[in-house]
Structure 1
Amino acid sequence: MSTPVEEREFQAETRQLLDLMVHSVYSNKDSFLRELVSNASDALDKLRLQAFQDKDLEVDTSDLHITIERDTEARTLTIRDNGIGMSRDDVVGLIGTLARSGTAELRKKLADAQDSAASVDLIGQFGIGFYSTFMVADTVTLLTRKAGESEGTRWRSTGEGTYTIETVPDAPQGTSVILELKPTDTDDHLYDYTSESKIRELVKRYSDFIAWPIRMDVERTEKVEPEGSDDTDDTAEPTERTVVTTETLNSMKALWARSKDEVTDEEYTEFYRHVSHGWDEPLETISLKAEGTFEYQALLFIPSQAPFDLFMRERAGGIHLYVKRVFIMDDCEELMPEYLRFVKGVVDAADLSLNVSREILQQDRQIRAIRRRLTKKVLSTISDIKSSRPDDYDTLWAEFGRALKEGLLSDQDNRDALLKISSFASTNDPEKLTGLEDYVSRMKSGQSEIYYITGETRQAMENSPHMEAFRAKGIEVLLLGDPVDEMWVGSIPEFDGKPLRSIAKGEVDLDDDAGKSEDEKKEAEAEKAERDKAFADLTAWLTTTLDENVKETRLSTRLTDSPACLVGDTFSFSPQMEKLYRASGQILPPSKRILELNPDHPLVVALQQARAEKGDDQSLVDTAHLLYGMAVIAEGSELTDPAKFAKLLADRLAQTV
């Protein structure tokens, strides 16, 4: 006997999302069937795996399949599987709500989408395939029972903001999704999802590779000879009768087990969409077969579009692991490093245990060997794309460059390969990124280091005082604006024998001694010593006056326009790095930096003269603090006491009016 029907409301975000989907117009509504068949396939995979792992689970796995049922008169379509099924809590958690990060972002993108193709792309990208049923159905009913449980659950909704849920005792194992279809605007079978030809077309296009049989009952008319007639009786007329037969609609051929010559680009695209739950096309397909000690097959895809959850802790799976065509898990993290988490696909191994667990995988020598080879193959493929298909590489780097650069920190074995496929903004061309090899090829005569600066925006980096001398001399500087750049540049000392050097740390001397005679070199050194001596009193006084903030004051060779700038020691944290640590909750001790002065700037010259005349006059002390504050602001950092700086500035400006 059924329990009372309980009515619940969708979460507010889910209700808004359903409203957008139900009332928006999509020209390609076919996505719903692909999503439901993929969900059914996953349920069958999981049941077979659980049956292997739990010998006490009383389930029949001898005929796992997906069934599509059509009722043209009632206008209903049912997609049924006898897979793992769901408990009542599963239904409430997975179907009744949409408790996933990114929902608000999806709502905005769906609302902003200007064409149907963009909207359908978003449906797959955000992993909400079940909700796509409301594009074609007025009412959706889900009947399910989890393997090993005695009671099932019925869920029903019109997509208008509420749903009903009840416990039912007689539900079959698995899941059935019953769609009460919307009326069609035409009698054309191309738009009728109860049409046999339409269902065949969609299964062939989207789900032909599904490993489980997709069955459908079809009606056929056959001729029946009258009883007692023979071949010589010309008077007996045959009659016709309608018979119902069950047909399998898909070929069930594993694409990774077939040669590339046997698979079309369209088949690869649909398989990619199946494993990635996306609707974009793969940027690259990688097929790999290993024989010998470790035998396995792999079919991997580099997407053309980053998933919305690429940088979220809880994100969709990447690599599906099979053993001898038996599904093991849909997110085998051990097969691909974290920085390649955007790669999708399948690995089918020959010798792993069917009861394999994540703990075993982490220790398995074969898994580690497969991971090494897959990683090298993906990186070499990206390298080939960079050298032969620059437009595709630009797309790849724009979508996944931030993730790839994480490998510069975590993967020492492939660090050189990663550096060669990486690209960065630079001062050479504001419209194009550059690789390190290209940077080295453009280095000026006598330049021995690769210069870079880190910051939050390109504008802030280009306008930094640290850039002035480099700009004046036409020396290219890499502009590293991603947070991960702050991390990896500190752990990689060089590229191609050329040290990587921050222009905001240590001392910078851009005077080119190449071609100078010994006398000219000695003369330059004497001039520098004389200049240092002339400003010695000022630099010492500023160091003392600004003792709370600076550890040293010295003359600069990197400034041409600004009066002062702040620099760190060679191995110190940059201000951006300190921000990252503090944002993550790390407590850092206060750090002092070096104040560099431009000896040719009128303000510094005037301050030197006033210091000689007035000594420790309070107005000079205020000027010193203003000078330091301007240096902090110029590099994009925050003042510790902005109110004090504003008051000092206002008082000084008042004196000039």
Structure 2
Amino acid sequence: MIHSIYSNKDAFLRELVSNASDALDKLRLEAYRDKDLSVDTDDLHIDLVVDKQARTLTVRDNGIGMTRDDVVRLIGTIAKSGTAEFLRQAREAQDAAGAQDLIGQFGVGFYASFMVADKVTLLTRYAGEAEGTRWESSGEGTYTIEPVADAPQGTSVVLHLKAADAEEQMPDYTEAWKLREVVKRYSDFITHPIRMEVDKPGAGEDEPKTEVQTLNSMKALWARPASEVGEEEYAEFYRHIANDWAEPLKTVQMSAEGTFEYQALLFIPSHAPLDLFMRDANRGIQLYVKRVFIMDDCESLIPEYLRFVKGVVDAADLSLNVSRETLQQDRQIQLIRRRLVKKVLATVKELRGQDAEKYKTFWSEFGKAVKEGLVQDADNRDAILEICSFDSTLDPEQQTSLRGYVERMKDGQQHIYYMTGDNRAVIENSPHLEAFRAKGYEVLVLTDPIDEMWVDAVPEFDGKKFQSIAKGQVDLDEAKDEQKQEQFKDFLGWMSEALKDTVKEVRLSSRLTTSPACVVGDADDLAPNLEKMYRAMGHELPKVKRILELNPDHELVSSLRAAHEARPEDEGLAETASLLHDLAVLAEGGELPDSARFIRLVSGRLRGSLPS
């Protein structure tokens, strides 16, 4: 049963140390409540005692201890009811909370000892009582219990260790280095000292051969007021948990009290890890429960788009036996997650206003990941938009916030205009920009792959809708030239028919000033780059036909219209119409479906233009 709960044998020591730490905390609290309780709380500690010859490991504390009834109720329940009964009741607990209640009720943490021990002996005496209790079991469904007259106050757990076995992945827990390693990993921040007697290197003949060492640092930075912690301490702790050589860009400390309590110490790194965009990269925050280490990368505490955030969360009311699956459903974890996200986003917003250089570093390193949140996290979308920065046509050297864009909008402008593309050069040279540039409208330049996705998911910012300059009809407050529409009516109908296999429609454009034509999508069409991404991932998509818009004032378009009116049966004009479309596709940085045909047609036209 124990092996089905724990995947790592080292967890037994974590559980026993945690139990001992709780007993020490309870003693201090009880001494505060009961002034008549005669106990010494000046040196509360946990001892690890190793006997290599007897192959025993003892975990001993001078805490509150247990009464005989406590031992039967908290320790003997599994042995008394049997493993089968425990598992039956665990299965009957339909929800995660019920299962956790059962784990607490049956004292499973203590029983982790039987992963590494053939027999466990417990000796305990409750503070203020004269008689103690000895409990012993081999973990086979029975136990013995008896009174002890001279038991010291507190609890001592003696583990009769199994033989070390590499094949069975059974470490030797009589080795000091192994115990030190386990304590450092799981219990380093326990507030009480964890002591062990070890050999003293280089001791002379007249000197003691051993010395008592404290194995844990007891430095839980997250539990100390920020005013008492230096920047170098924060930086050193960050380097320790993040395995990073640099200092963090920003430190975020927070705590909560009330219905549930937790403390958090988070760090925003100063540079992105190499695996930031790798699917199998480690992400998440270290989870502690009452300063006891539970897991390294708790993904449930932080969303994927903030996967670069490092740090520690120490919860007060979670079970030590939580699993990753349980955490995903745990209400407290979800509440902590929501508060962490809001705090991180608020911190970045403050950083933007207080330290422009640090914010610039943050956005250059993590901006692409943060923008994933615009798709993934609708609840915090407005807060994410507030911290985003974008390139725009206003200044190639300077990014803009959406707030800044809105403040600069021209009178009567109703939309936030943007264009997506592979790079800035392609967008700036696109014919779609011509009318906007001529009228002085600012356009956001979006070149990250994630930009293709979030613009479809985010409807607006501050009441202003996002509008692609390459999709749908663009209204630049120009009166429609009805006469021109009538003049081109037949021509547009002919071109639509000639290009019916390629385009959805041919119409006159209000967005062109110098180019002859451009291709645009309908308002709800998939963007070309996004369509390309989906196809590259193996998705089968129906062919998306786009719209060809013509500049009626361009000489090439007017000449083609005149030629069609003069020679409506001329089949060569259809080739010219096709070339006009292909040129428009190339002008926006697109790919031609049949580049060989395009080259053949252009070569023929060039050859025909030369003197014979």
TM-score w.r.t. the length of structure 1 is 0.65
Number of paired residues?
463
**Could you say if the C-alpha distance between residues 599 and 43 of structure 1 is closer, same or farther in structure 2, counting changes exceeding 3 Å?**
farther
TM-superposed deviation, 1:48: 2.6
Tell me the alpha carbon deviations over residues 526-560 of structure 1, each in whole angstroms, 9 at most, x when there is no partner. xx011111111221111000010111101101011
Unaligned runs of 5+ in 2: 1-7, 17-107, 121-160, 179-185
Asked if 2 retains the 8 angstrom alpha-carbon contact of 1:504 and 1:568, the reply is: yes
* One-letter code aligned to 1:439: Y
User: In structure 2, what is the Cα distance between the partners aligned to 1:552 and 1:476?
Assistant: 28
Amino acid of the residue matched to residue 650 of structure 1?
S
Q: Which residue of 2 aligns with 1:161?
A: none
Task: Give the Å deviation of 1:359.
Answer: 2.1
Is 2:554 the partner of 1:588? no
Is 1:313 the equivalent of 2:279?
yes
Secondary structure class of the residue paired with 2:505? strand
Distance 1:253 1:59, change over 3 A: farther
Amino acid at match of 1:373: R
SS at match of 2:599: helix
Match of 1:67 in 2: none
CA distance in 2, matches of 1:337, 1:591: 34
Residue aligning to 1:57: 115
Report the Cα distance in structure 1 between the residues aligned to 2:330 and 2:171, rounded to whole angstroms.
Answer: 43
Deviation for aligned residue 1:174: 7.6
Change (3 A) 1:46 1:585: farther
Query: Which secondary structure does the structure 2 equivalent of 1:297 belong to?
Result: strand
In structure 1, C-alpha distance between the alignment counterparts of 2:172 and 2:216, rounded to whole Å: 27
Judging changes above 3 Å, is the alpha-carbon distance between structure 1 residues 632 and 446 closer, same or farther for their aligned structure 2 residues? same
Are 1:423 and 2:389 an aligned pair? yes
The amino acid across from 1:302 in the alignment is I
For 1:56 and 1:220, the matched residues in 2 are separated by: 37
* Residue correspondence of structure 1 range 155-234 to structure 2 within 5 A: none
Helix, strand or coil at the partner of 2:385: helix
**Cα offset, 1:425, TM superposition:** 0.6
Equivalent residue for 1:290, pick from 256, 263, 268:
256
Q: Which one of 219, 222, 226 corresponds to residue 260 of structure 1?
A: 226
Distance 1:149 1:418 in 2: 55
Does the CA contact (< 8 Å) of 1:540 and 1:553 recur in 2?
yes
Alignment match, 1:82: none
> Which letter does structure 2 place at the counterpart of 1:568?
G
Q: 1:294 to 1:287 in 2, by over 3 A?
A: same
SS at match of 1:548: coil
Contact 1:562–1:601 (Cα < 8 Å) also in 2: yes
Q: What is the CA–CA distance in structure 1 between the aligned matches of 2:424 and 2:459, rounded to whole Å? A: 23
Identity %: 54
> Quick check: 1:209–1:271 contact (8 Å CA) kept in 2?
no
Counterpart CA distance in 2 for 1:478 and 1:168 is: 58
CA contact (8 A) 2:187 2:292 kept: no
Q: Deviations over 1:245-273 (max 9, x none)?
A: 35448633111111112221111111111
Q: Using a 3 Å threshold, how does the CA distance of structure 1 residues 587 and 455 change in structure 2: closer, same or farther? A: same
CA distance in 1, matches of 2:223, 2:263: 7
How far the C-alpha of 1:484 sits from its partner, in A, is 1.0
**Counterpart in the other structure of 2:329:** 363
Unaligned 5+ segments in structure 1 are 1-41, 63-146, 154-166, 178-206, 223-238, 513-523
Compared with structure 1, are the counterparts of its residues 410 and 369 closer, same or farther at alpha carbon in structure 2 (3 Å cutoff)?
Answer: same
Q: Distance in 2 between matches of 1:420 and 1:532?
A: 42
Contact 1:208 1:251 in 2 (8 A): no
Alpha-carbon spacing, 1:494–1:149, altered in 2? closer, same or farther (3 Å): farther
Q: Aligned Cα RMSD in Å?
A: 3.2
| Closer/same/farther in 2, CA of residues 260 and 656 from structure 1, 3 Å limit | same
Q: Is the 8 A contact 1:220 1:242 kept in 2?
A: no
Q: Is residue 12–residue 115 contact of structure 2 (8 Å, CA) maintained in 1?
A: no
Matched, 1:151 2:165: yes
User: Which of residues 628, 643, 646 is equivalent to 2:596?
Assistant: 643
Would the alpha carbon gap of residues 176 and 633 (structure 1) be closer, same or farther in structure 2, given more than 3 Å must change?
A: farther
Q: Deviations over 1:270-318 (max 9, x none)?
A: 1111211111211111111111101111111111111111111111243
Match of 2:529 among 564, 572, 576: 576
The one-letter code sitting in structure 2 at the alignment partner of 1:585 is: G
The answer to whether the Cα contact below 8 Å between 1:214 and 1:248 also exists between their aligned partners in 2 is yes
Q: CA deviation at 1:456?
A: 1.0
User: Which sits farther off after the overlay, 585-594 or 248-257?
Assistant: 248-257
Question: 1 CA distance for matches of 2:9 and 2:360?
Answer: 38
Larger radius of gyration: 2
1:545 aligns with 2:498: yes
Whole-angstrom distance in 1 between the partners of 2:377 and 2:170: 53
For residues 384 and 296 of structure 1, what CA distance do their matches in structure 2 show? 23
Q: Return the offset for 1:451.
A: 0.2
**Who is 2:70 aligned against?**
none
Among 511, 527, 543, the residue aligned to 2:477? 511
- The C-alpha deviation readout for 1:58-111, integer Å capped at 9, x for no partner, is 259x9xxxxxxxxxxxxxxxxxxxxxxxxxxxxxxxxxxxxxxxxxxxxxxxxx
Structure 2 residue 518 is the aligned partner of structure 1 residue 558: no
1:44 Cα deviation from its structure 2 partner:
5.9
Q: Which amino acid aligns with 1:464?
A: S
For 1:489, what is the secondary structure of its paired residue?
helix
The one-character-per-residue Cα deviations of 1:307-364 (angstroms, maximum 9, x if unpaired) are 1111111112430111111111111111111111111111111111111112221221
Task: Give TM-score, length-normalised by structure 2.
Answer: 0.70
Aligned to 1:485: 451
- Aligned twin of 1:89: none
Q: Please give the secondary structure, in 2, of the residue aligned with 1:490.
A: helix
